A and B are shown apart, each in its own frame.
Chain A
Amino acid sequence: MRGGALAALLAAVALTAAAHEPPPAPPPLFEPPAVGSYELPVIQRVSEHWLLAADGSRAPLLGIGEAEVALVAFVYTRCGDACPLALATLQRLDRALAARPALGARTRLVSVSFDPAYDTPARMSELRGHMRPKGRWAFLTARDAAALAPVLSDFGQSFVQIPDAGGDPSGLLGHVLKVYLVDGRRDVRNIYSTEYLVPQLLLNDVATVLEVAAEDAP
């Protein structure tokens, strides 16, 4: 069953990816505000944390310099709904950033599992293989739940374990999907939930925070 859930997830996020390319995002019903035409005030400050990379080595969660940004999404591989949407959005961003070196070189995408007991580095590596990142995209997990807890607390990402019919953990986690845009000072400049995962909007925000000239922007 668990393997089935992972397969379902991977199928969902890589559905069209016979060619390993994400489908185009549906066009938004609005024109995202122009790069640099608005402010993204600091929502909160987070710390750097050390987790496990897909190859099992220690890796920084943010891993960015002062003039860079990170887009951090908390997901888990047995998740069948919101997480595939987040991963598909990150995949679209990865492709878009790869085509815009002025942004891509200064932007790191980070997928962090909050199910470390199941999502081992090997499973995150498998997920990475399906995503086929073209740019800086890290797939991280933690040694165990205790190692991950301060990370979730720092970011304000809550979740609950969903019980099965017998009241035991089902392997599913209830959570509100959040993708965090973090700048080089470790300040969170925006947070996106399912309702607002519009790739063009995220790209414009990245360019706005990085103060990339409009001609180099998305």
Chain B
Amino acid sequence: MSLRNAVSGAVGLVLGALVFASGTARADETCQSPFLAKITGQEDYVYVWTLGVKDWGDESDKLVTIGTNPARPDFGQVVSAVAVGGQHEAHHGGFNDDRTRLWLGGLDSSTIFIFDVATDPANPKLVKKIETFVEDSGGVVGPHTFYALPGRMLISGLSNAHDRGGRTGLVEYSNEGKYIRTSWMPQSAPYGYDSRVNANLNRLLTSSFTGKNNYMTELPKLMKDPVAMENFGNTMVVWDYHAMKPLQVLEVPGAPLEVRWALQPRHHYAFTTAALTGKLWGVFRKQDGTFEALDLGPIGDPNAPALPVDISLSSDDRYLFVDTFMDGTTRVFDVSNPRAPKQIYERKIGSQLNMVSQSWDGKRVYYTSSLLANWDQTGPANEQYLKAYTWDGARLTPSFEVDFRALALGRPHIMRFGDLELHRPAGLPEPEPAPAAAAP
């Protein structure tokens, strides 16, 4: 990164919060918490939370750091890989409000790993483990979404310790890792998954998946069990964010997963996808301030739902990227008219596909492959990768890829962007790129 960019990047941190509040936001990846520090310019790294695999390298879950800046010699290279020890069903994670710490969760062990990404962004350091999440929270299991609030972290669970079913809650910890409180999902909508805040509206929107009994079961076996398949969420909940009280339950059949609020300040709606029905849904604010959920149509072949997973909305609220796991395909919808999305592009990324993250300027898009250890495909179809593309508004063009299987790194899941300049004080030289990690 040039010094000029370094300056603008750092200034962006200062400007970001204010500019974001006024609605002409400039930041890095889209779809992050509005309370998160924002940076401008080219991301230097992508952090990838990766599931360990038996007989692959050290078999441990790990945080893998990959260079993403074409101007740096570590572009497209694995810069570091920090094993946390053991397999915890590594899944999602997120930065705290000033992006100095990256919180990562394991859905199986319910362990939370907190990395320092400020001292040396190329080489994150594990500085704290929270192994009492279940006890702290009064029985919430499976820490899923990690969402920065001012001075604290909001964590939505997937399950509970009582019956490993889908009833769960929202848990808050301070930035220092001290438990604050648990807000259980309402009885009429007990399942949980994602949790996202629209600060302008003082609304928190949550979605619903399934409990530990299901998400730790092999997918083919699960799909043959009609009783188990009944145990998925069919609801979304609108909360008063400030009071942390549920206000409204919306019916969204088929396990609505990722929640993405529109990013422009006058756009009072959100998108989600229903995993089991393969449909795109919109959640729209009505004149009276309440919300309605609308079926916006199928994703791909309506007769063969391909399990939509992660979605990513562009910063101008125009393009919605939708990944489907079973066919390894990403589809881009023009959502300029949010009530009538139109698919404008599709591309097969791999044999299986899960997460997608895009830069704020919409020019770079990153994909990873793994869904859950027991749900990923098997044999040769079990491709495990990070693939980077550029997006020109019409098509994706390959940039680089990292084969996590060949490198025995594991199953890559969530991605978060890192920046060298964000945390480097003035007067310190730009660090030398770390040598690329050798393949085990």
A69 CB → nearest B CB, Å: 16
Measured CA separation A195–B14 after assembly (Å): 13
Residues of B231-283 contacting chain A, CB below 8 A: 240, 242-245, 268
Q: Do A163 and B6 touch (CB < 8 A)?
A: yes
Among A42, A44, A81, A161, contact of B176 (Cβ-Cβ < 8 Å): A44
In chain B, positions 400-440 with a C-beta closer than 8 Å to chain A are 422-427
Complexed CA–CA distance, A161 and B6 (Å): 12
> Residue-by-residue, is A57-75 near B (CB-CB < 8 Å gives 1, otherwise 0)?
0000000000000000000
* Contact A195–B21 (Cβ < 8 Å): yes
- Residues of chain B from 171 to 205 with CB closer than 8 A to chain A in the complex: 172, 174-176, 178, 180-181, 199-203
Q: Which of A13-21, A95-103, A129-137, A165-173 contacts B (4 or more CB under 8 A)?
A: A165-173
A178 near B151: Cβ-Cβ < 8 Å: yes
Decide yes or no whether A160 CB sits under 8 A from chain B. Answer: yes
A194 CB within 8 Å of chain B: yes
* Chain B: CB-nearest residue to A28: B202
Q: Which residue in chain A gives the minimum CB-CB distance to B33?
A: A195
Contacts of B391 in A (CB 8 A): none
Contact A44 B150 (CB under 8 A): no
Partner of A191, one of B100, B151, B181, B240: B151
Docked Cα-Cα span, A129 to B245, in Å, equals: 42
On chain B, the residues within 8 Å of A82 by CB distance are 14, 17-18
A217 proximal to B (CB < 8 A): no
Interface membership of B10, Cβ < 8 A: yes
Q: How far is the CB of B140 from the nearest CB of chain A, in Å?
A: 16
Q: Quick check: is A47 within 8 A (CB to CB) of the other chain?
A: no
Q: Report B-chain residues with C-beta under 8 Å of the C-beta of A196.
A: 35, 150, 199
Which of A30-38, A48-56, A111-119 participates in binding chain B? A30-38
Q: A180 to nearest B CB, angstroms?
A: 8
In the bound assembly, the distance between CA atoms of A177 and B10 in angstroms comes to: 15
User: What is the bound-complex CA distance between A85 and B18, given in angstroms?
Assistant: 8
The residues of B that contact A158 with a CB separation of less than 8 Å are: 98, 100, 118
Q: Are B11 and A30 in contact (CB under 8 A)?
A: no
Q: How far is the CB of A22 from chain B (nearest CB, A)?
A: 17
B264 CB to closest chain A CB, in angstroms? 13
Within 8 A of B (CB), among A126-176: 156, 158, 160-165, 167-170, 172-176
A201 to B199, CA, bound (A): 12
Report the nearest B residue to A44, measured CB to CB: B174
Query: What 0/1 readout, one digit per residue, does chain A (3-26) give for beta carbons within 8 Å of chain B?
Result: 000000000000000000000000
**Contact (Cβ within 8 A) B17 A41:** no
Set of chain A residues within 8 Å of B3, measured between Cβ atoms: 163, 165, 167
**A interface size (C-beta, 8 A):** 45
Question: With A and B bound together, what is the CA distance between A42 and B179 in angstroms?
Answer: 10
Known: A43-B151, A156-B175, A196-B199. Is A79-B35 also a contact (CB below 8 A)? Answer: no
- Known interface pairs A33-B240, A43-B174, A196-B150; A160-B10 also in contact (CB < 8 Å): yes
Q: Please, how many angstroms separate the alpha-carbon atoms of A191 and B422 in the complex?
A: 22
A163 contact from B7, B176, B202, B243, Cβ within 8 A: B7
Chain B residues within 8 Å of A175, by CB: 13-14, 98
A194-B243 contact in complex given A43-B152, A44-B176, A44-B178, C-beta closer than 8 Å: no
A32 and B242 contacting across the interface, CB-CB below 8 Å: yes
**Does B34 belong to the interface (CB within 8 Å)?**
yes
The CA of A156 and the CA of B174, in the complex, are separated in Å by 10
Known: A29-B200, A30-B202, A42-B180. A194 touches B7 (CB 8 A): no
Inter-chain CA distance A108–B15, complex, in Å, is: 28
**In the complex, what distance in Å separates the CA atom of A82 from the CA atom of B422?**
17
Which residues of chain B are near A170, meaning CB under 8 Å? 7, 426
Q: How far is the CA of A170 from the CA of B427 in the complex (A)?
A: 10
Q: Tell whether, in the assembled complex, residue B423 and residue A160 are in contact, meaning their CB atoms are under 8 Å apart.
A: yes
Contact A33 B243 (CB under 8 A): yes
Contact check: which of B21, B243, B425 meets A161 at CB < 8 Å? B425
Asked if A188 is an interface residue, CB under 8 A from chain B, the answer is yes
- Selected from B18, B100, B175, B245, the residue in CB contact (under 8 A) with A194 is B18
Evaluate contact between B201 and A29: CB separation under 8 angstroms.
Answer: yes
Given contacts A81-B18, A195-B20, contact A160 B150 (CB under 8 A): no
B1-45 contacts to A (CB < 8 Å) = 3-4, 6-7, 10-11, 13-15, 17-21, 34-35, 37
**A165 contacts across to B, CB distance below 8 A:** 3-4, 7
Among B14, B19, B150, B174, which residue has its beta carbon within 8 angstroms of that of A192?
B150
B residues in contact with A30, CB < 8 Å: 200-203, 289
Contact of A43 among B21, B180, B202, B244 (CB under 8 A): B180
- Find the B residue at minimum CB distance from A177: B17
Pair B35/A168 contact, Cβ less than 8 Å: no
B376 at the interface (CB under 8 A from A): no
* Cβ of A67 to closest chain B Cβ, rounded Å: 23
- Which residues of chain A are within 8 angstroms of B240 by Cβ–Cβ distance? 33, 38
* Contact of B11 with A172 in the complex, beta carbons under 8 Å: yes
| A-B pairs with beta carbons under 8 Å apart, 6 shown | A29-B268, A30-B200, A44-B151, A82-B14, A163-B7, A176-B13
**B residues whose Cβ falls under 8 Å from a Cβ of A:** 3-4, 6-7, 10-11, 13-15, 17-21, 34-35, 37, 97-98, 100, 118, 150-152, 172, 174-176, 178, 180-181, 199-203, 240, 242-245, 268, 289, 422-427
A-B contact sample (15 more), CB < 8 A, given A32-B202, A37-B243, A176-B17: A29-B200, A39-B244, A81-B19, A156-B176, A162-B426, A163-B427, A164-B7, A169-B426, A175-B13, A178-B151, A194-B20, A195-B21, A195-B35, A195-B200, A196-B35
Please provide the 6 A-B residue pairs with the shortest distance between their CB atoms, ordered closest to farther: A163-B426, A38-B243, A191-B151, A191-B150, A30-B202, A194-B17
